[in-house]
Structures are given as structure tokens and as C-alpha cells.
Amino acid sequence: MNLTDYQAKARETAIYLAMENSRIIYPALGLVGECGEVAEKVKKLIRDSNNVMTDERAAAITKELGDCCWYLANICCDTKLDLEMTYDMRGSSIQHKTRQLDYYQLALHLNRHAMGIATALERLYYESKSNLGMMSKYTEIPQHMSNVLACIEEFARRLGVTLEDVYVANIENLTGRKKRGTLHGDGDDR
């Protein structure tokens, strides 16, 4: 499955669309929250694991990375961007930079760019709640997205999986939850 297919499948599980005035701001908040959860799990490497990545922590981080992908995909849908194209924008310089970062720097970098997306989406939301045509003013969003995707991909590589493994597992989980009627609620294991 490529990122374009993933984007379409992620959209099929987006229940926030039925809520009035939720586009753009809901996935912006969600992305920041999920990237924060990645940072929280990485932070616990220091506190609980003496800087050793355990299989359990790697699996938990991988799930959170999938949730980050889901929000990115839906932000792309809401802003008429293509997730595959933003991925392709990451270029070798971004990849090289992310490979040089340790886990902590990588988590901070991920969050910095997630906040860049959220900040631009916040401006867009309040300036033109229904006019997505103004998206062209926010050219930094695809660049921030490509950085977030590069961070996710680098985390995945270090955890022994691929970016595709991350988003495929995410959509399989969400599709299953949709069938069970458990998309609402809290927790990763619904």
C-alpha cells in the first residue's frame, strides 16, 4: 500500500467530519497530541529503561507513529494536499539530518514540525474557516509535513520496521475498530 492509498483509507475512518466546524483544527490538535505521545514514550527511555529501547516500548512507539500518520493523512485530505507528494519532498538533506539525531532529538524534531503544521492550520482555521482555497498562503505546511514523515520514517527504521509497516498496521487497526464500532473512545487497544 502506498501513501496515496493509505490517505484514502484513513479518510474512510475519519468520524470527525460529521462534527460542525471540526475540519482542520481537529486533526491539528490530534497530530500535536500523538507526536507528544511519541515524545512521552521516548522520554521514558531515560526514566524507566536506562536509555535502552525495549521491544515493548518500540511496539508502543510504533503504534503512536501510526496515529501520527493518520492525522497527517487527514490533514492532507482537509487541505487538498497529497501525502505521497509531501513524503517525496523530504529529500536527502532532511533524511541525512534525521539520521544524525538521537532518539531524544528526533522526538523533539518531530514535535517541532508537528507544531509548525498546527500553527499554520490554526491560522488557516481562524482566518478562513470555510475557505480552503487560501491554503496557498501556507506553503510551509507541506515542508513541515515532509519533516514529520522523515522523523516517522527514521523512528520506524530504528525500531526495525518500515514506514509502510507503520501505516499499514495503523489502517488495519482502525479498519478493525470501525467494523467493531469502537472508533470512539480512548486507548489504543479498543
Give rounded-to-5 percent helix, strand, coil for the chain.
80, 0, 20
State the total domains in the chain. 1
Q: Which residue carries 529529500 as its cell? A: 91
Residue 133: predicted pLDDT: 52
> What is the phi/psi pair of residue 78, to 5°?
-70, -25
Most confident range, picked from 29-33, 43-47, 48-52, 91-95: 29-33
- Quick one: pLDDT at residue 190? 43
Distance, CA of 93 to CA of 1 (rounded, Å): 26
Give me the domain span that covers residue 145: 3-179
The answer as to whether 187 is a domain residue is no
Q: In angstroms, how far apart are the furthest CA atoms of the chain? A: 49
pLDDT digits (tens, 9 = 90+) for 3-14: 999 999 999 999
- 185 in any annotated domain: no
Question: Residue 186 falls within a domain, yes or no?
Answer: no
At 89, list the grid cell.
519532498
Q: Count other C-beta atoms under 10 Å from residue 105's C-beta.
A: 14
pLDDT for residue 23: 81
Does 189 reside within a domain? no
The answer to the question of residue 175 being in a domain is: yes
Residue 86: inside a domain: yes
Residue 115, in any domain of the structure? yes
Q: Are 66 and 164 in contact (CB under 8 A)?
A: no
Percent of the chain with pLDDT over 90: 67
Does any domain span residue 142?
A: yes
